[in-house]
């Protein structure tokens, strides 16, 4: 049995988007529910998702472990797994780690782009690594079954997390820097260690992470995947598209600035292109998985490898979360 999984989306959620994900054949999707929100604000987000589940029960349901991916496949639905792109919901209280897990959180980034109480973000000049609090939180995340996600974290912090965590970590949405040297993309050394530790890389389709951005070609992307497979084992590669379908530009401003800055931070954009970038025409939404299948085949992957990259590898990773 083959599964199709997109392990990172942050869309403007609606029935239309859920239907698109079903048309794409997604059995599971990891969704961002928090960027900079605190615990109480996270609970409000959960209530919004409860309404989505109620109104779209024919399409989606809350996923909690790998068995829900199997259930989704059998019922022609999409299992939705909650994740945080920052550690803000646990505030400075380690007891909140278990509480957010009870509410469905299965992935948590230790940082967004900046320094957090746990680790250093990829936009900081100095990377001090995992903090004392961060070490304790990693232990607690391992215990309750929340995956450490280092997608937005700096190099030393990420390498520290790999070493400290007793379970494999994930980089749910990023690409290798050898292909495109964006702040958010990862070095070959880091990716090699991630693979050796059993961790997963979710390859990103967000234009600011792509060579030539919106104009990136399918061929270039798939050739990058093939070269990355020379650094990492193919079993450690998946997709984390970072799709932000139908989101207004005000949302990307919130993502970049939160409540911590009064000056404009353009992140990977610029003053002249401050909004969400346009997706490549071969991946405008999750239905682009079909194009990925075609492109990966053209660069030499066999059918088993393609199916693994497009979902089975993430499924196997999910199976290990609660072990």
- Name the CATH code of domain 5-319 (choices 3.40.50.2300, 3.30.360.10, 3.20.20.140, 3.40.50.10540): 3.20.20.140
At 322 the pLDDT is 73
When pLDDT is averaged across residues 144-150 and rounded to a whole number, the result is: 98
Token pair of 243 as six digits? 């799709």
> What is the C-alpha R_g of the chain?
18
Do residues 8 and 202 touch, judged by C-beta distance below 8 A?
A: yes
Tell me the average pLDDT of the chain: 94
Res. 168: pLDDT tops 80:
yes
Which residue do the tokens 């782009």 mark? 113
Q: Is 298 helix (H, G, I), strand (E, B) or coil?
A: helix
pLDDT in tens, 283-315: 999 999 999 999 999 999 999 999 999 999 999
User: Which residues touch 197 (CB under 8 Å, ≥6 apart)?
Assistant: 162, 168, 169
> DSSP secondary structure string, 218-256?
HHHHHHHHHHHHHHS-GGGEEE---B-TT--HHHHHHHH
Q: What is the C-alpha to C-alpha distance for residues 26 and 310, in angstroms, rounded to an integer?
A: 10
How many of the other CB atoms lie within 10 Å of CB of 260?
A: 9
Provide the sign of the torsion angle of the four alpha carbons 30, 168, 157, 184, taken in this order.
Answer: negative
Of the pLDDT bands very low, low, confident and very high (cuts 50, 70, 90), residue 265 is low
Q: Is 102 helix (H, G, I), strand (E, B) or coil?
A: helix
When pLDDT is averaged across residues 203-208 and rounded to a whole number, the result is: 96
At 269 the pLDDT is 57
pLDDT in tens, 212-261: 999 999 999 999 999 999 999 999 999 999 999 888 776 667 566 667 66
DSSP H or E stretch at residue 265: none
User: Which residues touch 24 (CB under 8 Å, ≥6 apart)?
Assistant: 4, 6, 285, 286, 287, 288, 289, 290
At 273 the pLDDT is 58
How many of the other CB atoms lie within 10 Å of CB of 85?
A: 25
At 268 the pLDDT is 66
Q: Is 86 helix (H, G, I), strand (E, B) or coil?
A: coil
At 248 the pLDDT is 76
Length reported for the chain:
323
Q: Is 147 helix (H, G, I), strand (E, B) or coil?
A: strand
Res. 271: pLDDT tops 60:
no
Of the pLDDT bands very low, low, confident and very high (cuts 50, 70, 90), residue 270 is low
Q: What is the C-alpha to C-alpha distance for residues 6 and 238, in angstroms, rounded to an integer?
A: 8
> DSSP secondary structure string, 119-166?
S-BTT-S----S-HHHHHHHHHHHHHT-EEE-TTB-HHHHHHHHHH-S
Higher pLDDT, 102 or 320: 102
Res. 97: pLDDT tops 90:
yes
At 253 the pLDDT is 73
How many of the other CB atoms lie within 10 Å of CB of 258?
A: 17
At 152 the pLDDT is 95
pLDDT in tens, 15-72: 999 999 999 999 999 999 998 899 999 999 999 999 999 999 999 999 999 999 999 9
Res. 104: pLDDT tops 70:
yes
When pLDDT is averaged across residues 4-23 and rounded to a whole number, the result is: 97
Domain boundaries, the chain: 5-319
How many of the other CB atoms lie within 10 Å of CB of 69?
A: 23
At 323 the pLDDT is 62
At 264 the pLDDT is 62
Q: What is the C-alpha to C-alpha distance for residues 185 and 187, in angstroms, rounded to an integer?
A: 7
Q: What is the C-alpha to C-alpha distance for residues 246 and 255, in angstroms, rounded to an integer?
A: 15
């Amino acid at each position: 049995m083959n599964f199709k999984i997109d392990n990172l989306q942050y869309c403007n959620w609606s029935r239309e988007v859920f239907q698109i994900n079903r048309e794409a054949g997604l059995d599971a999707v990891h969704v961002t529910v928090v960027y900079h929100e605190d615990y109480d604000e996270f609970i409000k987000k959960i209530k919004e998702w409860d309404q989505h589940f109620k109104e779209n029960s024919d399409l989606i349901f809350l996923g909690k472990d790998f068995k829900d991916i199997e259930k989704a496949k059998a019922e022609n639905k999409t299992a939705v797994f909650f994740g945080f792109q920052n550690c803000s919901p646990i505030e400075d209280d380690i007891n909140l780690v278990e509480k957010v897990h009870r509410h469905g959180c299965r992935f948590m980034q230790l940082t967004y782009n900046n320094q957090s109480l746990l680790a250093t973000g990829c936009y900081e000049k100095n990377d001090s690594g995992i903090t004392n609090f961060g070490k304790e939180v990693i232990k607690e995340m391992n215990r309750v079954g929340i995956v450490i996600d280092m997608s937005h974290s700096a190099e030393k912090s990420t390498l520290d997390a790999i070493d400290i965590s007793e379970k494999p970590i994930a980089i749910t949405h990023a690409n290798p820097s050898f292909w495109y040297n964006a702040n958010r993309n990862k070095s070959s050394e880091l990716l090699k260690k991630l693979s050796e530790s059993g961790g997963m890389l979710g390859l990103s389709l967000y234009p600011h992470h792509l060579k030539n951005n919106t104009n990136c070609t399918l061929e270039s992307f798939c050739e990058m995947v093939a070269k990355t497979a020379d650094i990492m084992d193919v079993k450690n590669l998946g997709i984390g598209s970072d799709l932000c379908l139908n989101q207004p530009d005000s949302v990307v401003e919130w993502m970049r600035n939160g409540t911590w800055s009064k000056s404009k931070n353009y992140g990977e954009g610029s003053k002249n292109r401050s909004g969400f970038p346009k997706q490549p025409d071969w991946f405008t939404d999750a239905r682009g998985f079909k194009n990925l299948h075609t492109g990966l085949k053209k660069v030499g992957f066999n059918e088993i490898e393609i199916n693994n990259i497009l979902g089975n590898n993430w499924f196997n990773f999910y199976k290990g979360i609660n072990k």
